[in-house]
A and B are shown apart, each in its own frame.
Chain A
Amino acid sequence: MPEWEPKIVAFLCNWCSYGAADLAGVSRMQYPPNIRVIRIPCTGRMSPKFILAALRKGADGVWVSG
């Protein structure tokens, strides 16, 4: 059995962290592949529903970033 790797759902704001993620990619920076990015139009779009839904579907962690 392969070693367990955490699955983290990342909700990133289009204008902030998503941009930062893009910049990180363009700059060829290294970061762990454990996050699954979901782009949201704004952190204001975030709802507690999303977090619970992510956990229900088996995410090990949730990260919200504005």
Chain B
Amino acid sequence: MVGYIDKIKEISERLLKDGKVDMVIGFRKGTMPMMNEPHRVKSADDVKNLVWDSNCGINLANYLTDRKEKIGIVAKGCDSRNIVTHIIENKIDRDQLYIIGVPCKGMIDSHKITNAVSGEIVDVVESNGEVTVKGDGFEETFNKADVLQKNCAVCIHRNPVIYDELVTDLVEEQADVDRYEDVREIEAMSTEEKHNFFDDLLAPCIRCYACRNACPLCYCPTCFVDESRPQWVGKGDDPVDIKTFHFLRAYHCAGRCTDCGSCERACPVGINMRLLTKKLEMDCLNLYGWEAGLTLDNRPPLDTYKPDDPEEFIK
């Protein structure tokens, strides 16, 4: 995985030099360990700053919305699915894009590592499926499989679904994962238990909207939380307002969410709001056999009508 970067640099440099794209969106090293940040490369000289490792969890499709120029973009499996969603929703044109596909083996959950060590981490080295973190007076090695982001651990679309060029051979998809175990656990609860569960889950939320900002689907010019006439959601930290925000945001992602994990990754207090989006994702799969962002040929189920659409909830 670490070796991919040479190929990414080579492709990016070629694209920029040939004038095929105006910029390449990739990652550069962040100011903090395990926090690589998105980087727009506009000249061939800048290509050297690009990096690729297991800390590139941010979904780059987020930066494509309504762009006008020609863009080369580095895309993991989930990024590519969100690019497909963007194209379907007319947020970007396929012809504008040169997609550099990166088969992905999962990204590291920095929350997990930070919680596992005491003290500030200053350096992280990755090799052969192991992650070694160093800080003041400690050094620890983790098995990468143990510190994967939760969504990566159950990911079944690691390979990009559309691309113009791949940096390496496609990786093997995980086959025997149970994607919806946690959702079923909640479904088995009683109404009261569910209510309390979500009360507890969302209690730490500080309404920073980092999840919304990190989400490639959340591109509305004015988000419903910012609307004031009428005001759907209060601005404070009232538990009902917090829940309204999370529930409605999840609804807005129904049939579009690719479970890229950006929201959870961005959350400063570590809320697993993916439980909400995943429930809707599961319903879409079970009711309509739909998984978001896999193809450009079909319209999503929520904007098409079929006579055999499920309707047992209508009286």
Contact = CB atoms under 8 A, between A and B. Distances in A.
B287 interface: no
B240 A48 contact: no
Interface stretch (A8-16, A27-35, A49-57): A49-57
A56 B244 CA distance: 9
B58 to A, nearest CB: 28
Interface in A20-66: 48-49, 52-53, 56
A49 B248 contact: yes
A56 B248 CA distance: 13
Given A56-B240, A56-B244, A48 B232 contact: no
Contacts of A48: 247-248, 251
B247 A52 contact: yes
CB-based closest 6 A-B pairs: A48-B251, A49-B232, A52-B244, A56-B240, A53-B232, A48-B248
14 contacts: A48-B247, A48-B248, A48-B251, A49-B224, A49-B232, A49-B248, A52-B232, A52-B244, A52-B247, A52-B248, A53-B230, A53-B232, A56-B240, A56-B244
A63 B230 CA distance: 21
Contacts of B230: 53
Nearest to B314: A66
Interface of A: 48-49, 52-53, 56
A59 B244 CA distance: 15
A17 to B, nearest CB: 11
A52 B252 CA distance: 13
B191 to A, nearest CB: 14
Interface in B30-62: none
A12 to B, nearest CB: 14
A52 B231 CA distance: 12
B280 to A, nearest CB: 11
Interface in B227-253: 230, 232, 240, 244, 247-248, 251
A53 B248 CA distance: 11
Contacts of B224: 49
Contacts of A52: 232, 244, 247-248
Nearest to B232: A49
A45 B259 CA distance: 28
Nearest to B240: A56
A53 B224 CA distance: 12
Contacts of B247: 48, 52
A38 to B, nearest CB: 13
Nearest to A66: B314
Contacts of B240: 56
Nearest to A49: B232
Given A52-B248, A56-B240, 4 more contacts: A48-B247, A49-B232, A52-B244, A52-B247
A29 B75 CA distance: 62
B74 to A, nearest CB: 34
Contacts of B244: 52, 56
Contacts of A56: 240, 244
A55 to B, nearest CB: 9
A43 to B, nearest CB: 11
A50 to B, nearest CB: 9
